C-alpha cells in the first residue's frame, strides 16, 4: 500500500512539473506568431505612475502612457511587476526588454542604460506626519531620521544634504512602507517625488508637505545599453505623437488633475471585500507553487536522504554538499542567483513562477533530505543488521523494514516543512512573483491602507491551520493503519 502511494505521489509531481513547463513554453510560441511583444519591468507600488486598480489591471501615468505608445506604434507589452530594484537588475541581465518605473535619468544610469526622451519632469518634497508641528524645514532635521525609497530622486536628494543638516537616512523598497514608518514615528520625515507624495496624501495618508518642490530631474524609459534600439525609437516616436494629439495631457490629468480631492477611507471588512478577487488569486498562486514545489522537493529529499545513509562515501559526500549549500545560502540570495544570474549565464529568460518553483524545491529538498536521514537514523540500527544477516539485500532491507518505520517518525517534521515552504513563498515577492504577500503590497500601494497586512496575516493563519489539521488527521490514519 505504501509503495503504491509513493508511486502515485511521484507520478503526480512529474505530471505537475511537465504541466508547468508546458504552460510556460506555449505562450512564448504563440507570441512569436503575432504582434511584436516586449517584456517591460516596472514597480507597481509607485502610484500615481504605476499601480494595480481594483480589477487587477496595471494603471498609472507610466502604464497608460506605455499602452498608448504601444497602440500608436503597433507593439504589445507584457508587464512584469518586479519592484524598482529587481526591475533594474532584470534589465541588466536581459530578463526584461525595458523598464518604466518613474526612473530618473542620471549620468550614472546612462553608463548602463539607454534612455528615451524625458516623459515627465518631477521634483522632490519633504513630508512629515500631519500631527508634527516641530519640523517645518530642513533646519529642523538635525539629529532626526529621514525615510527614503531606494533608487528614487528623493533618496539621492536626501543623501546630498544629510551632512549639511545633520540627519540620518533609512531606506525602504516601497513608498507605502516609507510612509508607514513616518506615521509610526520611527522616521521623522520622508523625501519623495512631488506627484507621488501628493497622490498619497489624497489617498488619506496622514502626512503633510512642509517644503516647496525642489528642482527635479526627468523620468525616462530605459533599455539596456546598445540593445532594443527599435523599441526605444518607437517609444520616442509614440511619445511625440501623444504630445501632439493631446493624449499625453489627458493621461497626466487622469491622475494629477484632482490633487486636492481626497478619497473616503474604507473599513477593514470593506477593504477585504473590495479586493477579494485579487487576494484569492494571490492565495491560489501561493498554494499552487507550494504544492508543486513540495512534491518535487519530496522526490529530491528522499533521493538525497537515502544517499546520505548509504555505505558509499562518494554518495554521502554528494548528499552532504547539496544539503550544506542549500542550507547555507539565504533564500533571498539564492532567489537572486536563480532568477538573475543563471539566466544571464545561459542567455535565457526565466519566468518568475518557474524560478520560484526551482528555488523552493531545491531549498525544501535539502531540509527534507535531513528529515529522511534523521528518520532513518532514528530506527534501531540493529534491525538493518538483522535483516542483512538473514540475507536480505541492502535496498530491500531499507524499503521493507527501515523506511516504513522512518516515515512514521518523519511525518510531523514533514508537515512542518510543508508549512515553512508555504510561508517561504512570501520571500519570492522580491523577484516579482505575485503570490499572496506581493498581492498585499500591490493593494497597499493603491489604497495606502496598512490594515491589508492584518487581512493577509489572517489568510495565512486560516490556510496553515486548515492544512495542519488535515495533515494531523492523515498522520493519525497512517499511524493507526
Domain assignment of residue 265, yes or no? no
- What does the alpha-carbon distance between residue 370 and residue 366 come to, in Å, rounded to a whole number? 7
pLDDT given for residue 77 in this prediction? 92
Domain holding 66, by residue range, is 38-120+221-240+251-257
CATH number for the domain including 95? 3.40.190.10
Distance of CA 359 to the CA centre of its chain: 13
Residues 232, 305 within the same domain: no
Nearest-10 Cα torsion for 172, 177, 178, 184: -130
What value does the mean pLDDT of the chain take? 83
Residues 82, 138 within the same domain: no
Q: Over the stretch 223-269, which tens digit does the pLDDT of each residue have? A: 999 999 999 999 999 999 999 999 999 998 888 865 445 556 667 88
pLDDT given for residue 135 in this prediction? 93
Residues 113, 130 within the same domain: no
The domain total for the chain is 3
Residues 357, 429 within the same domain: yes
pLDDT given for residue 374 in this prediction? 82
pLDDT given for residue 70 in this prediction? 94
Cell of 49: 505612475
Domain assignment of residue 377, yes or no? yes
Q: Over the stretch 174-195, which tens digit does the pLDDT of each residue have? A: 888 898 899 888 999 999 888 8
pLDDT given for residue 314 in this prediction? 92
pLDDT over 70 (residue 296): yes
Nearest-CA neighbor of 438 among 123, 81, 154? 81
Domain assignment of residue 225, yes or no? yes
Domain assignment of residue 114, yes or no? yes
Q: Over the stretch 395-442, which tens digit does the pLDDT of each residue have? A: 666 766 777 777 777 777 787 888 889 999 988 888 878 889 888 888
Residues 354, 459 within the same domain: yes
Domain assignment of residue 460, yes or no? yes
Residues 207, 282 within the same domain: no
Residues 75, 193 within the same domain: no
CATH number for the domain including 414? 1.10.3720.10
Q: Over the stretch 337-372, which tens digit does the pLDDT of each residue have? A: 999 888 888 888 888 899 999 999 999 999 999 888
Higher pLDDT, 26 or 372: 372
Give the residue-averaged pLDDT of 381-397: 68
pTM of the shown model: 0.73
Residues 209, 88 within the same domain: no
Find out whether 429 and 289 touch, Cβ atoms under 8 Å. Answer: no
Domain assignment of residue 235, yes or no? yes
pLDDT given for residue 263 in this prediction? 56
Give the residue-averaged pLDDT of 149-172: 89
Residues 285, 424 within the same domain: yes
Residues 134, 100 within the same domain: no
Residues 140, 282 within the same domain: no
pLDDT given for residue 214 in this prediction? 86
Residues 286, 424 within the same domain: yes
Would you call 69 exposed, middle or buried from its count of C-beta atoms within 10 A (0-12, 13-18, 19+)? buried
pLDDT given for residue 457 in this prediction? 92
Domain assignment of residue 226, yes or no? yes
Q: Which helix (H) or strand (E) holds 229?
A: helix 229-245
pLDDT over 80 (residue 93): yes
pLDDT given for residue 265 in this prediction? 63
Domain assignment of residue 319, yes or no? yes
Strands (E) across 263-318 are located at none
Amino acid at each position: 500500500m505504501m509503495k503504491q502511494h509513493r508511486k502515485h505521489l511521484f507520478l503526480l509531481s512529474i505530471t505537475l512539473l511537465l504541466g508547468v513547463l508546458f504552460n510556460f513554453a506555449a505562450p512564448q510560441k504563440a507570441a512569436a506568431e503575432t504582434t511584436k511583444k516586449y517584456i517591460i519591468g516596472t514597480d507597481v507600488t509607485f502610484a500615481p505612475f504605476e499601480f494595480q486598480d481594483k480589477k487587477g489591471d496595471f494603471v498609472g501615468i507610466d502604464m497608460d502612457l506605455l499602452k498608448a505608445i504601444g497602440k500608436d506604434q503597433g507593439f504589445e507589452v507584457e508587464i512584469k511587476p518586479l519592484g524598482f530594484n529587481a526591475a533594474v537588475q532584470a534589465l541588466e541581465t536581459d530578463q526584461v526588454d525595458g523598464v518604466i518605473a518613474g526612473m530618473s535619468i542620471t549620468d550614472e544610469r546612462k553608463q548602463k542604460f539607454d534612455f528615451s526622451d524625458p516623459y515627465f519632469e518631477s521634483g522632490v518634497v519633504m513630508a512629515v506626519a500631519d500631527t508634527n508641528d516641530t519640523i517645518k524645514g530642513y533646519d529642523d532635521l538635525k539629529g532626526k531620521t529621514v525615510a527614503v525609497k531606494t533608487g528614487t530622486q528623493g533618496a539621492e536628494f536626501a543623501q546630498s544634504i544629510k551632512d549639511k543638516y545633520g540627519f540620518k537616512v533609512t531606506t525602504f523598497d516601497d513608498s507605502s512602507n516609507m510612509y508607514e514608518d513616518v506615521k509610526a514615528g520611527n522616521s521623522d520625515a520622508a523625501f519623495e517625488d512631488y506627484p507621488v507624495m501628493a497622490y498619497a496624501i489624497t489617498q488619506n495618508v496622514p502626512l503633510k508637505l512642509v517644503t516647496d518642490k525642489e528642482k527635479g530631474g526627468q523620468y525616462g524609459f530605459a533599455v539596456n545599453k546598445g540593445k532594443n534600439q527599435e523599441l526605444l525609437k518607437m517609444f520616442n516616436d509614440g511619445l511625440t505623437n501623444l504630445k501632439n494629439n493631446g493624449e499625453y495631457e489627458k493621461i497626466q490629468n487622469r491622475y494629477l488633475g484632482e490633487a486636492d480631492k481626497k478619497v473616503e477611507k474604507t473599513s477593514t471588512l470593506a477593504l477585504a471585500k473590495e479586493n477579494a478577487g485579487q487576494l484569492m488569486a494571490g492565495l491560489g498562486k501561493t498554494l499552487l507553487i507550494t504544492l508543486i514545489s513540495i512534491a518535487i522537493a519530496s522526490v529530491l529529499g528522499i533521493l538525497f536522504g537515502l544517499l546520505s545513509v548509504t555505505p558509499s562515501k562518494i554518495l554521502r559526500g554528494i548528499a552532504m554538499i547539496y544539503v550544506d549549500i542549500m542550507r547555507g545560502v539565504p533564500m533571498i540570495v539564492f532567489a537572486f542567483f536563480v532568477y538573475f544570474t543563471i539566466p544571464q549565464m545561459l542567455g535565457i529568460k526565466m519566468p518568475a513562477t518557474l524560478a520560484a518553483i526551482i528555488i523552493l524545491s531545491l531549498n525544501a529538498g535539502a531540509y527534507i533530505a535531513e528529515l529522511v536521514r534523521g528518520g532513518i537514523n532514528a530506527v534501531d540500527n540493529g534491525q538493518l543488521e538483522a535483516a542483512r544477516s538473514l540475507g536480505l539485500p541492502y535496498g530491500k532491507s531499507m524499503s521493507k523494514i527501515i523506511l516504513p518505520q522512518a516515515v512514521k517518525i518523519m511525518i510531523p517534521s514533514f508537515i512542518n516543512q510543508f508549512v515553512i515552504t508555504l510561508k517561504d513563498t512570501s520571500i519570492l515577492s522580491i523577484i516579482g512573483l505575485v503570490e499572496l504577500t506581493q498581492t498585499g503590497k500591490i493593494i497597499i500601494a493603491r489604497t495606502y491602507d496598512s490594515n491589508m497586512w492584518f487581512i493577509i496575516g489572517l489568510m495565512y493563519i486560516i490556510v496553515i491551520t486548515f492544512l495542519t489539521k488535515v495533515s494531523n488527521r492523515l498522520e493519525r490514519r497512517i499511524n493507526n493503519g
